[in-house]
Each structure stands twice: as C-alpha cells, then as structure tokens.
Structure 1
Amino acid sequence: MKNLKLVGILLIVMLLALAGCGSAQDEGSDDDSGSDNGGGDDASSEEVRVTLGTGGTSGTYYPLGVAMTEQIFADAEGVSQSRAVSTGASVTNAQELAEGKYDAVLIQNDIAYYAVNGETLEDFEGNTVDNMAGMTSLYPEDIQVVTTADSDIESLDDLNGKNVAVGDQGSGAEANAKQILEAAGITYDDITPEYMGFGDASQGLQNGTIDAAFITAGAPTSAIQELGANKDVNVLSLSDDVINDLTSEYSYYTERTISADTYADYGQEEDINTVAVMAILVVDSELPEDTVYNMTKAMFENREEMEAAHDRGSDITLEGARDGMSIDLHPGAEKYYDEEGVSAE
C-alpha cells in the first residue's frame, strides 16, 4: 500500500509539473504572436529605416537628399538609419514610392498632384498613388532650356529641326518640356527628342550630339555648370506669350527670373525669363506620425546643413513649408506646422 501511495504522489507531482510547463509555453506563445503582428508598446516605438529617392547626381535633388538623410534624418528620433538614392526623379519616384521601394521622395508639386489624382500623365491615368503624403515644400524648380553660346539657337522657335534633350522618358522634366514646347507651337514631330538625364545632356551638348536641353532644377544646376566649364552656355528666355499661356493653363507654374549672374562665370550674358514649379518632399503615408513629426522638426532645426549642400538650400524656410503643397500633408508634418503656427499660402 505504501508503494502505491508513493507512486500516486509521484504521478500527481509529475502532472503538476507538466501543467506548469504547458502554461509557461502558452504565455510565451502569446508574447511572440503580439510581437509578430507589430502590436503593443514595443512595436509602436520601433525605429524605422528611411530610404529617400532623389534624382540624378547632376541635379539639385541628389545633394540636398544626401544632406537630409546623412546629416538630419539620421539623428531624428524614431529613425534608425537613413540614406539617399539617385533615381530618375519625379515620375519614377512617385511610382516606386507606391511600390514600397522608398519611404520618402523628392518630387515636383505638379507630378505629385497628378500621381495622387491619377491625372494628365500617361503614367498615372487610372493608376493613382495612394500612399503619398506631403511633408514640406522646398524651393522653386526652374525650367531651363540650355544650349551653347556658339549655337544658332536664340529662342524656342529655333529648336525646330534640332536634337533636343527633353529629360528621361516619363520624367517630370519631360512633362515640362512637352508643355513648354506645345505653348510655343512645337511638337516632338518638329524636333528629334532625346531622352536623357541632365548629366548625359550636358555631355551631349559638349560633344555636339545634341543642340539643346530642357532641365528642370533649382538654379544654379551642376549640369549647366559642368557644361560651362568647357563651353560658354546660353540659357534661353521664354517669350511673354509662352509664359502667360503656361501660367494660365497650368496652376503649378509661376513666372521666374534667373539673374544672369547665376551663370555669368559660364558665359551667360542676360537674365533668364522662365517658369518654375515647386520641389516638395513627400513621404509614405504609412510612416508613423511621431517619426514624421520628428523628421520635420529636425529638418527645420538644421537648415544650415541643406544650405551648405546646395544654393537652393537657402530657399527652404519654415514660413514657406506649406506653400505650393499640392497634396494632403502627413499628420506628423501637419502637427509640427500647427504647433509652429505655419499656415498654407
């Protein structure tokens, strides 16, 4: 009997021990499940990696984007790592933001509007970008039509029959080129369009394979400066009629005058009358509100980093952060602007 009692006691102890182990395993499984689903306080405070899509290395987006990611966003609370990537610029950036390739992109305000609303450009008709939210407006992007000073091109009319670089195919620069040519009564049938980025266009002008190039970027633009280091440049003015047609037809264009001094060291002799769109910074709408708030705050508390990276950095101001913003702001950015008393233009 004693042996039977002892066996019974041992069985009870073993069953209790097994039950305890099962309970501990169940509790552990609940914790793991919560972590996998991103729930709980730990997940909400998880830091994110930010990849910023910019543009070609010879434009303005790239140096500013590098300054933003390496010297500003990298230290923002909620960001574990940030980097800038050279891209095909506005249209490509919008498409690849939609695909999840980037967390933020630099883009023209007109292209952002078309992307969100699925309008105008073939790339976006019926294909809206649903995860794009505004963070800040940056600076005017000047449309510059450049040729060499020794060419016979003095106006848009002289582009007829010429080889003209119109930007990467499907890019924001190409959209601008088409619209400006149309305002001047010129179609692609009247020219030989060459699809290339700013750096390649500069090389083409140097070696004579193209006659002129459309460049949409903040002036001074390094591609034009690179050309001017080898040949004197002539950046064309648009006629008053073309400027009036563009600003009447498209709400995003504003009239701009670029001082001759901007490219005086490269042979430019006269002021340049043209139009501009606005460069803006947009983010994935799914980024956490606190993270975007901190990125926006860090940006305006460290503006000197962007000023050092490019002349256009000095155009980036808190007062103008909402001017020309063509899409809805991310809640994190809007929260920061509301706290700072920054209203839309």
Structure 2
Amino acid sequence: MFKSKNMLFLLVLSAFILVLAACGADDEAETSSGTETSTGTDTTDSGSEKADFGDVKFLSILTGGTQGTYYPLGGTFADLITTDTGVKTTAEVSQASAANMTALAAGDGEVAFVQTDIAYYATQGTLMFEGQKIDSVVALGALYPETVQLVTLADSGIKTFADLKGKKVSVGAPGSGTYANAEQLLEIHGLSIEDDIQAQNLDFGESTDGIQSGQIDAAFITAGYPTGAVEALNATNGVHIIPVEADKAAELIEKYPYYAVDNIPAGTYGLEAEVPAVSVGAMLAVNKDLPEDLVYAMTKAIYDNTDKIGHAKGEFIKAETGLDGIGIEVHPGAQRYFDEVK
C-alpha cells in the first residue's frame, strides 16, 4: 500500500512538472513572436526606436584614399547615419570619383563620394565614361567646393586666360577631371588645348615643380584650397591665380551645369585680394533603388548634424547649399529633405 501511494505521488509530481515546462515554453514563444511582429522597428543600444527600412540592414560609403579628404569625412558620415537611422554604416577605402561611380553601378556600394563633374560625365556617358553610361546612380547632396585653380608665378606676365596663348601649360592627364576642367575653361575663353597652348600632362606636384623650374608657365589644379602643392610653390616663389571673370563663369555654368561660382579668399597663398574662380563640387551619390525613406533619413542625419563634423571642410557642408552645382538627378528622398529645409 505504501509503495502504491509513493508511485501515485511520483506520477502526479511528474505530470505537474511537465505542465509547468509547457507553460514556460508557450510564454517564451509568445514573447519572441510579439517582438518580431508587433513593433516593426529596430533599436540601438540605448533602446531608442529606429525606422524599419526593409531589406537594407547595412550601408557602405565608398570614399577615397586614407590620406585624402573623402575618407575621414566618410567615417563621420557613417557614424551619423548609423546613429540616426539604426542602419549600420561603414566608410570604405576606394579609388575615389570615377571608380566610385563604376562601383555603385556594379552594386559594390550604396553611397559614394564623387566630384560633380565626374558624376555628370558618368550619367551622360561622355569623356572617361564614353560608351559606359551609368543610369542607376543619383545624387544625395553637394558637400564642398573643389576649386579650379589656374596657377602661375606673380612675375610670369600671365594675368589673363588670353595670355596663355603659346605658353606651356599643365592640363592634367588625358581623361582626368582636371583635363576636362582645363579644356572647358579654355573653350569658354576662345582657346583650345590642341591649337593655342603647349599642353603638358602633369600631376599637381609635377606642375608646381615645373613652374618653379621654369619648364612650364602655368598649371590647372582642381582641388580644395589651400592646396599643398600650391602652398609649397608660394613658399619659394610668389604665385598668381588667374581669375575667371563673372561673365565667363556664367557662360561656363550655362553650358556645363555642374560648375559653381567660387572665390579664393585674400590671404590664401599670400594673395592680396580675393580671386574670382569656379569650382566643381564634392558630392554624395547613391544607388537609385535605395528606399526613399532611408535616403531621406540619411540626408537628414548628415545635414542636420554638420556641427558634429570635425573636419575643416565641414564648414562648407550646409543644407541650404545641398543642391548647388549638382548636374544629375537627385534621389526623391534627398529632394524631400531639401524641399523641407528651404
């Protein structure tokens, strides 16, 4: 009888344990199911909710070399986008503008730094993109100017574009952005690379070395000022930057809409007065098929937080100039943001 009671007790106890285990499993399943289906949002470590952008869980920003401007800015932008959208974003080293456009088109990145003129050539299928038109990439926004600087020595006697006729002038490598800038500015001033100057295909350092040694007379240099190579030249020889007058700048921009009016401030390279110039711009480009709400959030994350950009170029990045100099289609998400901040 005693054994029978013990057996009955053990059977009841086992049944009770099984019921408790089943209830616990049901509670856990309900909790898990509620997390996946009820909110539709992601959270950061702080617990703040982030919007659901569908299949996009990761973004890659293609920049340039580690010693350039694009890479450190890209790191800052990646942090801002990750914080504000919850989509993990990283900055990637790349070969910069032309390579970035090709990579975006191939799906090897979602966001990229690129010069405005290079973006235009890519979407038009011209110059270095001849026969390789890219129609899957659009603009997110303009960043800062990269000024076309026509550099010579203060005592060279070259004061205007007309004075370049017959002179040895560095125009950059064929197919480069600098070469295109030189060709177009000369064209607006009634000159041509082939017929009116002795064109030299030199990089920035070679150009300023050539000016210093007297091997060439002037050089086109497209870069943000102050440019190191030009500063080095000015340290040993006073430089002169040939101005682009307002009427010529307007004519250039009407024909090539990716240019913008610019000025090189007095004091730069020891200049006594401000020099009128033109610039192409550094911009961000994105894949056209990124969701509109995501691109809106990315644009807002960057342009609403420019005070958090520690790089010197951050002072040029402003919502009110976010569409300046862009000659390609703008993503609807970015356009929505800029329309709201007008």
User: Normalised by the size of structure 2, how large is the TM-score?
Assistant: 0.70
Q: Does 1:205 align with 2:208?
A: no
Residue of structure 1 equivalent to 2:113: 106
2:262 alignment counterpart: 256
Q: Which residue of 2 aligns with 1:81?
A: 90
1:334 CA drift (Å): 4.0
Matched residues, number: 287
Inter-CA distance 80–56: structure 2 relative to 1 (3 Å threshold): closer
Q: Deviations over 1:112-142 (max 9, x none)?
A: 2332233xx3334443212212111223433
Separation of aligned partners in 2, 1:240 and 1:337: 27
Aligned residues with identical type, % of pairs: 38
1:275 and 2:274 correspond: no
CA deviation string 1:141-199 (max 9, x = no partner): 33210122243322222323333222343223221210111122222233232334434
Q: Which runs of 5+ in 2 are unaligned?
A: 1-41, 43-51
Q: Are the aligned partners of 1:51 and 1:85 in contact in 2 as well (CA < 8 Å)?
A: no
Aligned partner of 2:169 in structure 1 is: 164
Q: In structure 1, what residue type is equivalent to 2:278? A: V
**Aligned AA for 2:190?**
G
Backbone CA RMSD of aligned residues? 3.3
Is it true that 1:222 corresponds to 2:228 in the alignment?
yes
Cα distance in 2, alignment partners of residues 174 and 295 from structure 1: 33
Distance 1:72 1:107, change over 3 A: closer
State the TM-score, normalized to the length of structure 1: 0.69
Aligned to 1:235, which of 228, 241, 261? 241
Q: In structure 2, what residue type is equivalent to 1:167? A: G
1:213–1:105: structure 2 CA closer, same or farther, 3 Å change rule?
farther
CA distance in 2: counterparts of 1:194 and 1:102, whole angstroms: 35
Correspondence for 1:6: none
Please list the CA deviations of residues 250-309 of structure 1 after superposition, one character each: whole Å capped at 9, or x if unmatched. 344444333322x1xx33233312223343211233445565444323322432354x32
| Equivalent position of 1:26 in the other structure | none
Residue 48 in structure 1 maps to residue 58 in structure 2 = yes
Q: Partners in 2 of 1:324 and 1:278 — Cα distance?
A: 7
Q: Is the 2:137–2:285 Cα contact (8 Å) retained in structure 1?
A: yes
| C-alpha contact (below 8 Å) 2:65/2:71 kept by paired residues | no
Shift of 1:236: 0.9
Q: Which residue of 2 aligns with 1:5?
A: none
Residues 63 and 91 in structure 2, CA contact (< 8 A), matched pair in contact too:
no
Matching residue of 2:319: 318
Q: CA deviation at 1:52?
A: 1.8
Unaligned stretches of 5+ residues in structure 1: 1-40
Aligned match for 2:298, one of 291, 295, 306: 295
Larger radius of gyration, structure 1 or 2?
Answer: 2
8 Å CA contact retained: 1:104, 1:281: yes
Inter-CA distance 304–201: structure 2 relative to 1 (3 Å threshold): farther
CA drift at 1:321: 1.9
Distance 1:247 1:281, change over 3 A: same
